[in-house]
A = this chain, B = another copy of it.
Amino acid sequence: MAKETQFVEQIADINADFPQWYTDVVLKTKLVDYGPVKGTMVIRPYGYAIWENIQKELDTRFKKRGVENAYFPLLIPMSFFTKEAEHVEGFAPEVAVVTHAGGEDLAEPLAIRPTSETIIGTMCSKWVQSYRDLPLKVNQWCNVMRWEKTTRPFLRTSEFLWQEGHTVHSNQAEAEEETLGMLETYKEFAENCLAIPVLTGRKTEKEKFAGAVATYTMEAMMRDGKSLQAGTSHYLGQNFATAFDIKYLGNEGVLNTAYTTSWGVSTRLIGAIIMTHGDERGLVLPPVVAPIQCVIVPIASRKPGVVEACEALKQELEAGGVRVTLDNSDNSPGWKFNEWEMKGVPVRIELGPRDIEAGKMICARRDTLEKTEMPLTNVVEGVKALLASVQKDMLEAARKRCDARITYADDIQGILAGVDGGNFVKAGWCGCRDCEDKIKEETGATARVYAEGEVKETCAVCGKKSEHVIIYARAY
């Protein structure tokens, strides 16, 4: 048993120092490494494989919604940003700029895209001529860059990977439907694939995307009670269509300005997975996106027949579509248990001579650490059922943790006490920017999302009539 604590000691105590636990886990499980330029990250194979699984799941959903993938240039003329006033104000301070290329100074500086509304707007204005060209729905999987002062792997880095969808519609109702429909798709994906329960709804004016009419968000509660904005869907109205001249000839022969939307999620989701499910032993990965769903650890592997039985089991599971690995290394079983627990593999199979003789195997779930025996017959079915249980139970456990930590408050002191206790706090708001700013100043919490349909009498700050209920939290 001595060896079993080897890894537990290597990562910081999740309850004592959550930020250090996070850093330890992402580095030691080889999800990520620091890049040579400050604020950049290298996504290592174990981390990138999670992203590939996220991409696969989301991409299928996008295509079902009639979205096609495309690719737009990385470099955007600086002048494009100035066409939408709010947009340039929001993004100009974070932009990285190319001033020199091919041995010459450029006539106009070029921005590395922080987001692509401006360049996609420019192209759509060329492609959209008639109502027959609408709706137009494109998405790109790409890198973007936002120069940040304080960075953390996956959560906030100068460069990150994401998808950005952009749609153009002939009318407001359809564009709003698209915006909300995509929010629903994100929520369904987050819950069913990442096992992350999310709160969805509209952002306040202060927190919305620079240039949007309305931003809708999905917010997820991390283990420390802080919120992580896990995805956003923006209704852009005619702001960008006007700025970039996206007009179409309607079937009544009149030239109309279009309506647009944009929506995106990023490699931040990997951070969300880590901080939603992780525990004192390290990562806990949801089976749908886990790079390795099942690890086989041979017990007494020198005994005749053990390695062969493990190999046969591996091949059977692999053929059945389970992402499986066999740990044939020289390390002790205890060492391996710790290693694969730290790496968050959802199911561990232990197989030794006695198990083989008894026609069974031991299956240990990573989420609950529960061990069960399973027959060595119909293993694909058995393991897949277990993975499905893990997936389902992880969502339920996360939802319980989240639900238990949503509280109410009537004043700023209440909000402060709530967020200090690691909660999301619902409180009334009069709707004015001053009150929103004051909460940020005094509690460090921000308005994460409107709690639609809920009612409070008074604003927690000024005591005037409350117009909305807001969910406040500190955030990543």
Contact = CB atoms under 8 A, between A and B. Distances in A.
Interface of A: 33, 35-37, 40-45, 48-49, 51-52, 68-77, 80, 93-103, 109-110, 112, 119, 122-123, 126-127, 138, 142-143, 145, 147-149, 158-159, 161
Contacts of A123: 33, 35, 42
B68 A159 contact: no
Contact of A97 (B36, B101, B122, B148): B101
A69 B40 contact: no
A145 B74 contact: yes
A411 B112 CA distance: 50
The 6 closest A-B pairs by CB, nearest first: A102-B147, A45-B68, A96-B101, A43-B71, A40-B73, A35-B73
A71 B36 contact: no
30 contacts: A33-B123, A33-B126, A35-B72, A36-B122, A37-B73, A37-B76, A37-B110, A42-B73, A42-B123, A45-B70, A45-B138, A48-B68, A48-B69, A48-B70, A49-B68, A52-B69, A71-B161, A73-B159, A74-B112, A74-B143, A75-B96, A93-B102, A93-B103, A95-B102, A96-B102, A97-B99, A99-B99, A99-B100, A101-B158, A142-B143
Contacts of A80: 36
Given A33-B123, A119-B35, A126-B33, A44 B73 contact: no
Nearest to A123: B42
A357 B48 CA distance: 54
Nearest to A99: B99
A382 B98 CA distance: 54
A326 B41 CA distance: 45
A68 B30 CA distance: 13
B44 A70 contact: yes
A201 to B, nearest CB: 31
Contacts of A94: 102
A112 B98 CA distance: 9
A143 B159 CA distance: 13
Central interface residue in A33, A49, A96, by most chain B CB within 10 Å? A96
A351 B468 CA distance: 59
Contacts of A96: 75, 98, 100-102, 110
A446 to B, nearest CB: 22
Nearest to A75: B37
A119 to B, nearest CB: 7
A450 to B, nearest CB: 31
B37 A77 contact: yes
Contacts of A42: 70-73, 123
A273 to B, nearest CB: 17
A68 B112 CA distance: 27
A74 B126 CA distance: 29
Contacts of A99: 97-100
Contacts of A68: 45, 48-49
A52 B149 CA distance: 35
A40 B69 CA distance: 18
A99 B100 CA distance: 8
Nearest to A80: B36
Contacts of A41: 73
A32 to B, nearest CB: 10
Contacts of A159: 73-75
Given A35-B123, A43-B71, A142-B143, 20 more contacts: A33-B123, A35-B73, A35-B119, A36-B76, A36-B77, A36-B119, A37-B73, A41-B73, A42-B72, A45-B69, A45-B70, A51-B71, A74-B159, A75-B158, A93-B103, A95-B101, A95-B102, A97-B98, A101-B147, A143-B143
A315 to B, nearest CB: 15
A110 B158 CA distance: 13
A101 B99 CA distance: 11
Contacts of A101: 95-97, 147, 158
Nearest to A108: B37
A36 B81 CA distance: 13
